[in-house]
């Protein structure tokens, strides 16, 4: 395989990050430091899992007059959902907040990024799906991941689906990057084991894909290699959820996010995206289901993945593509092959010679 | 050894970075994008090695009316030298520039950081030697390393010596971090081999020290591990200066700089600092001279270092501590043991039990 340069890219880093057990206790001060007479109130977008833990918002520094919104995680973000949230903030007079705090998993972090951009840019979420369409900086935003793996805390995108058009695409923009990220491994202690595994594997999978691709550069490779090493340590370790390994996985997620800025994914993500679009499966579990069927394309990673899943006693949904209709087959093929850039990265421009319709369907049928 | 947490730290990242062969051609546009009616002119601080290459400044976007200053590299930065440079910029009406570009090695990058801070904070360089003494953000600054290893492009300090007091200490501040760093491996092609090796080893050495220390955290460790891996690839490779390995070393330098933010060095740096203060040896070559004598403290790294130096056919100054006088012995001991934090990190609080006066001198005499 010929290794091609990804081209020169300007990469926007997360402004600041705080790392360590208990780091979340510093969010309060961060929020307080952003309040001014003109921007008194803050917005807290909190994963609805925490709705049952009554003092979550106040522990993050929420005061009377602030807006606290719980973000549902049954479905991944939609442009319509984001628009509704922004309208609500306008309605309650929280359209010029001191800061927007996103506290949760990838869904909540992506929601915080999108809301922050819309509050200053106006218009609707769908207007900014694409590359560098956001015109001005969003409201100051703080990201606090409570599960590790998506890398959303470090990336310049926030993935959303437009329910009207079916378009699943983020606001790819330097303005989408968090101003401050708080990485506190103690927050991931109560994540269910399966979910912890699926989400953590998101970091592993996109870095495995990047390192196997033909479009490469030295800094993306470095971030990806260390991310993969950390994931190996975590998921081949005795207990992936002990204190040390939760800390390592949080670092893997952040560095994996940094890797995304200068690299491309491969064959797994297009198939995974198709599972999400056609069957509504969440991104991380869909990735795992796909990698589990990708022995031919990623033999090393597939074998390692099998070892990890057995070692950690994790279960994977089975037969998600049982009983496909002709329409579903057509939809799955279309939703896979539209991801030309990653497929070219993995298989070359002539990727359809390898990924024939029949081959694609036989892969889905293994999932 | 007990592993202790470094404590929770807020880390300021470099704002943006550009990476790739030929990335330097983008500096021109970056500079142009900073010019406004109120801030028309830019300041270019250029390593004086490039004085012989006539179009260096214009290739970076310098226009008539800008200030182009060549930074001497015979001596490392002094607070007096920085003050003189700032006075010169005030005298020529360049005290409110659009941006400050530092183009060179660690000396030039550190100079650019210090000058940027002083132009907005006023006063003298010595006023800001310490931690978090810089009050307001400096002038926008762009760092372009032309040699890899010091990590200055990614750190929050700029090391300077006050010639009046002998104090060698940087302006440790979030404001010292570059707004934009341009990483172009083609720039290191013409570096002399010995210098390339010494400087590159700065990244290797501080990460080896960090990973052997007792104050640790998962993100610093991750950056350090990948930096060490990259340095191994470069210096155990057939030609450390081929295109691929120069690219890898530039990444190692940047990630090594990121590692510094959340880690501490060990035994090498205090001895190296003493060689710099007492004999005026530059930081990077001094580090190599020290590691070469540190078989007892870092047996693995020492053996690897010997392999690297032989593989790359690099020569090291010898007998730099021949014929020590009593005064020099006293000075060397004092200049070493004052670095309590790194020595505690490496050897524990009771480090003087290991590092007796006699032991320190016998180590220096091996250098």
Q: What are the tens digits of pLDDT across the range B276-286?
A: 999 999 999 99
Q: Does residue B133 share a domain with residue B35?
A: yes
Q: Does residue B156 share a domain with residue B30?
A: yes
Q: Is residue B8 part of a domain?
A: no
Strands (E) in B13-122, as ranges, are 16-19, 43-47, 67-71, 100-104
Cβ burial, residue A326 (10 Å; 0-12/13-18/19+): exposed
Longest C-alpha distance within chain A, in Å? 63
CA distance A23 to chain B (A): 6
Question: Which of B18, B185, B226 shows the shortest C-beta gap to A226?
Answer: B226
Classify A239 as helix, strand or coil: coil
Q: What are the tens digits of pLDDT across the range B225-260?
A: 999 999 999 999 999 999 999 999 999 999 999 999
Instruction: Report H helices in B92-242.
Output: 106-121, 193-212, 218-235
Interface residues on B facing A, Cβ-Cβ cutoff 8 A = 5-23, 26, 174, 183, 185, 217-219, 222-223, 225-226, 229-230, 244, 247-248, 250-252, 254-255, 262
Selection from A11, A13, A12, A16 nearest residue A182 by Cα? A16
Q: What are the tens digits of pLDDT across the range B166-213?
A: 888 999 999 999 999 999 999 999 999 999 999 999 999 999 999 999
Q: Does residue B134 share a domain with residue B213?
A: no
A-chain residues near B12 (CB < 8 A): 15-16
Q: Does residue A219 share a domain with residue A98?
A: no
Q: Is residue A61 part of a domain?
A: yes
B-chain residues near A15 (CB < 8 A): 12-13, 15
The interface predicted TM-score (ipTM) is 0.95
Q: Is residue A244 part of a domain?
A: yes
- Interface contact A217-B20, CB threshold 8 A: yes
CA distance A6 to chain B (A): 9
Q: What are the tens digits of pLDDT across the range B255-302?
A: 999 999 889 999 999 999 999 999 999 999 999 999 999 999 999 999
Residue pointed to by tokens 């001060």: A29
Question: Which of B26, B183, B217 shows the shortest C-beta gap to A19?
Answer: B217
CATH number at residue B167: 3.40.50.1970
Nearest residue in B to A233, CA atom: B222
A-chain residues near B230 (CB < 8 A): 222
- Interface contact A18-B26, CB threshold 8 A: no
Best of A5, A8, A225 to mutate (most B CBs within 10 Å, chain B): A8
Q: Does residue B303 share a domain with residue B176?
A: no
Selection from A300, A1, A259, A5 nearest residue A154 by Cα? A259
Q: What are the residues facing A104 on neighbouring strands? A: A145
Residue B106 pLDDT greater than 90, yes or no: yes
- Interface contact B10-A20, CB threshold 8 A: no
Q: Is residue B11 part of a domain?
A: no
Best of B7, B13, B148, B245 to mutate (most A CBs within 10 Å, chain A): B13
Q: What are the residues facing A19 on neighbouring strands? A: A183, B9
pLDDT at B11: 94
Q: Does residue A21 share a domain with residue A163?
A: yes
A-chain residues near B258 (CB < 8 A): none
State how far the Cα of A269 lies from the Cα of A277, in Å rounded to an integer. Answer: 12
Question: Which residues, other chains included, contact B319 with Cβ-Cβ below 8 Å and sequence gap of 6+?
Answer: B367
Nearest residue in B to A248, CA atom: B218
- Interface contact A16-B7, CB threshold 8 A: no
**DSSP structure class, residue B325:** -
Selection from B314, B144, B185 nearest residue B239 by Cα? B314
Looking at residues B148-155, what average pLDDT do you find?
97
Question: Which residues, other chains included, contact B154 with Cβ-Cβ below 8 Å and sequence gap of 6+?
Answer: B14, B177, B178, B181, B253, B254, B255, B256, B257, B258, B260, B261
Selection from A285, A272, A234 nearest residue A255 by Cα? A234
**The last residue of a domain, from among B188, B218, B239:** B188
- Interface contact B13-A16, CB threshold 8 A: yes
Looking at residues B74-83, what average pLDDT do you find?
95
- Structure token digits, residue A144: 């606090």
Half-sphere exposure of B117 (CA within 13 A, CB side): 31
Q: Quote the number of domains for chain B.
A: 2
State how far the Cα of B251 lies from the Cα of B220, in Å rounded to an integer. Answer: 15
State how far the Cα of B100 lies from the Cα of B137, in Å rounded to an integer. Answer: 13
Q: Does residue A145 share a domain with residue A29?
A: yes
Q: Is residue A207 part of a domain?
A: yes
Q: Which domain holds residue A279?
A: 193-364
Residues lower than pLDDT 50 in chain A: none
Q: Does residue A200 share a domain with residue A93?
A: no
Nearest residue in B to A224, CA atom: B226
Residue B104 pLDDT greater than 80, yes or no: yes
Cβ burial, residue B206 (10 Å; 0-12/13-18/19+): buried
Nearest residue in A to B20, CA atom: A8
Q: Is residue A6 part of a domain?
A: no
For residue B80, the surrounding DSSP H or E stretch is helix B79-91
Q: Does residue A326 share a domain with residue A240?
A: yes
Q: Does residue B101 share a domain with residue B54?
A: yes
- Interface contact B183-A250, CB threshold 8 A: no
For residue A143, the surrounding DSSP H or E stretch is strand A141-145
CA distance B5 to chain A (A): 8
CATH number at residue A281: 1.20.1090.10
Best of A154, A222, A258 to mutate (most B CBs within 10 Å, chain B): A222
Say what the pTM is.
0.96
Instruction: Report H helices in chain A.
Output: 27-34, 56-59, 79-91, 106-121, 193-212, 218-235, 243-260, 268-279, 283-291, 299-311, 326-337, 340-347, 351-354, 357-365
Question: Which of A11, A17, A22 shows the shortest C-beta gap to B17?
Answer: A11
pLDDT at A262: 87
Residue pointed to by tokens 């593989």: B311
- Interface contact B16-A174, CB threshold 8 A: yes
- Interface contact B20-A8, CB threshold 8 A: yes
Report how far apart, in Å, the C-alpha atoms of B147 and of each of A116, A243, A309, B232, B338 are.
39, 39, 44, 18, 30
State how far the Cα of B141 lies from the Cα of B27, in Å rounded to an integer. Answer: 11
Question: Which residues, other chains included, contact A146 with Cβ-Cβ below 8 Å and sequence gap of 6+?
Answer: A47, A49, A50, A103, A104, A105, A108, A187, A188, A191
Question: Which of A17, A222, A254 shows the shortest C-beta gap to B255?
Answer: A222
What percent of chain B is predicted at pLDDT more than 90? Answer: 95
Question: Which residues, other chains included, contact A182 with Cβ-Cβ below 8 Å and sequence gap of 6+?
Answer: A17, A18, A23, A24, A26, A27, A30, A142, A143, A144
For residue A367, the surrounding DSSP H or E stretch is none
pLDDT at B6: 80
- Interface contact B222-A251, CB threshold 8 A: yes
Q: Does residue B49 share a domain with residue B167?
A: yes
CA distance B301 to chain A (A): 20
Q: Is residue A246 part of a domain?
A: yes
Q: What are the residues facing B9 on neighbouring strands? A: A19
**The last residue of a domain, from among B171, B188, B205:** B188
Positive or negative torsion for Cα A354, A359, A361, A365? negative
Question: Which of A8, A22, A254 shows the shortest C-beta gap to B23?
Answer: A8
**The last residue of a domain, from among B162, B188, B214:** B188
Q: Is residue B217 part of a domain?
A: yes
Q: Does residue B218 share a domain with residue B157?
A: no
State how far the Cα of A181 lies from the Cα of A144, in Å rounded to an integer. Answer: 6
Selection from B124, B131, B129 nearest residue B173 by Cα? B131
State how far the Cα of B133 lies from the Cα of B183, in Å rounded to an integer. Answer: 29
Residue B7 pLDDT greater than 90, yes or no: no
Classify B129 as helix, strand or coil: coil
CA distance B12 to chain A (A): 4
């Amino acid at each position: 395989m010929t290794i091609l340069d990804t081209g020169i890219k300007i990469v926007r880093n997360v402004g600041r990050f705080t790392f360590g057990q208990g780091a979340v206790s510093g969010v309060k001060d961060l929020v307080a430091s952003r309040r001014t007479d003109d921007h008194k109130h803050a917005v807290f977008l909190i994963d609805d899992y925490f709705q049952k833990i009554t003092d979550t918002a106040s522990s993050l520094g929420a005061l009377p007059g602030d807006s606290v919104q719980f973000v549902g995680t049954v479905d991944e973000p939609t442009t319509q959902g984001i628009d509704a949230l922004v309208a609500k903030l306008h309605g309650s007079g929280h359209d010029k907040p001191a800061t927007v705090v996103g506290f949760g998993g990838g869904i909540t972090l992506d929601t915080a990024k999108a809301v922050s951009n819309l509050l200053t840019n106006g218009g609707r979420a769908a207007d900014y799906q694409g590359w560098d369409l956001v015109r001005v900086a969003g409201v100051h935003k703080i990201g606090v991941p409570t599960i590790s793996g998506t890398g959303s805390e470090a990336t310049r995108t926030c993935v959303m689906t437009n329910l009207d058009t079916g378009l699943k695409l983020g606001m790819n923009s330097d303005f989408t990057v968090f101003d401050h990220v708080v990485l506190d491994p103690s927050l991931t202690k109560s994540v269910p084991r399966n979910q912890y595994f699926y989400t953590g594997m998101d970091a592993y999978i996109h870095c495995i894909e990047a390192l196997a691709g033909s479009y490469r550069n030295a800094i993306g490779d470095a971030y990806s290699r260390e991310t993969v090493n950390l994931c190996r340590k975590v998921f081949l370790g005795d207990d992936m959820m002990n204190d040390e390994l939760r800390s390592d996985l949080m670092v893997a997620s952040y560095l994996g996010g940094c890797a995304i800025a200068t690299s491309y994914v491969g064959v797994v993500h297009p198939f995974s995206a198709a599972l999400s679009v056609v069957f509504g499966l969440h991104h991380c579990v869909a990735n795992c289901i796909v990698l589990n069927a990708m022995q031919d394309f990623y033999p090393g990673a597939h074998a390692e993945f099998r070892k990890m899943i057995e070692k950690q006693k994790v279960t994977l949904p089975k037969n998600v593509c049982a009983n496909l209709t002709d329409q579903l087959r057509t939809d799955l093929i279309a939703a896979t092959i539209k991801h030309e850039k990653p497929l070219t990265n993995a298989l070359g421009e002539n990727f359809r010679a390898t990924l024939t319709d029949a081959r694609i369907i036989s892969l889905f049928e293994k999932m």
